Each structure stands twice: as structure tokens, then as C-alpha cells.
Amino acid sequence: MNTGERIAQLRDERGWTQEQTATMLGISRAALSHYEKNRREPDTETLSKFADLFHVSIDFIVGRTRSQNTLLDPEVREFVDELELSDQDILSKFALTIDGKQLTAEEARRFIAFVRAERNMN
């Protein structure tokens, strides 16, 4: 099942018209129709709106999982949203890995420094 078919299925399961759904999403009915018929791909912001409206993950909408219920609990989401990778406690409690090999504390610090430097360049 492709993205458009999943969007249409989620809408149909709720008994909503395209007009109702488009209004709730803040998009035109024509845009929704194009998404459902796979004439256009929704951008990331619109995918997020679909996921929030239907209470499913973006991964479900785009077909990366068959499970609709893969959303994080509110407490877990809050923890993840506020997670600071450079916090020494986090670095010591979690095994950060790349290509199956755990990063050393020094590699983690260099990785963080690299990301910060890249952000400052943009």
C-alpha cells in the first residue's frame, strides 16, 4: 500500500470526507485529493499534520511499518525532546554506536563538536 492509499484508508476509517479532512489539516481539498491519488507527495510538515490528525506515525503513513500504534508515550516523547547528547550522564548511560561499534567518550565529544561546527556554518 502506498502513501496515498494509506491516507485515504485512514480518512475512510474515520468516515470523514475529503473536504472535512482538508479543513482539519489546513490544506485544500484538491491538495488532499492529489496526495490520495499519489499525484503529489506531501512534504514533511504535511506528513506531520497527517500523523497528528490520524494519531499514527509518519512511518505508518509512508509504509515503513504496518503498525499504526508506534507513537511514543507523552513522557517518553518529553524525555527524548529534551535529551542533551552532550550531557555526561547520558553519554555514560547509553551506548552510542556507529556501524555496530560503540563510540568512545572522546569520539562522542568530537561528534558533538562536529555537529555544532556544522550548525554554526549554516
33: CB partners within 8 A, 6+ apart: 18
Q: Answer for the pair 61, 27: CB distance below 8 angstroms, yes or no.
A: no
The torsion angle over the Cα atoms of residues 31, 62, 96 and 107, rounded to 10 degrees, is: -50
Q: Taking the complete model, does pTM exceed 0.85, yes or no?
A: no
The pLDDT score that the predictor gives to residue 77 is: 64
The pLDDT of residue 15 is 97
pLDDT in tens, 23-64: 999 999 999 999 999 999 999 999 999 999 998 888 889 988
For the cut 80, the answer to whether the pLDDT of residue 101 exceeds it is: yes
Distance CA 110, CA 104 (A): 10
- What domains can be seen in the chain, in order of their start residue? 3-61 (1.10.260.40), 74-121 (no CATH)
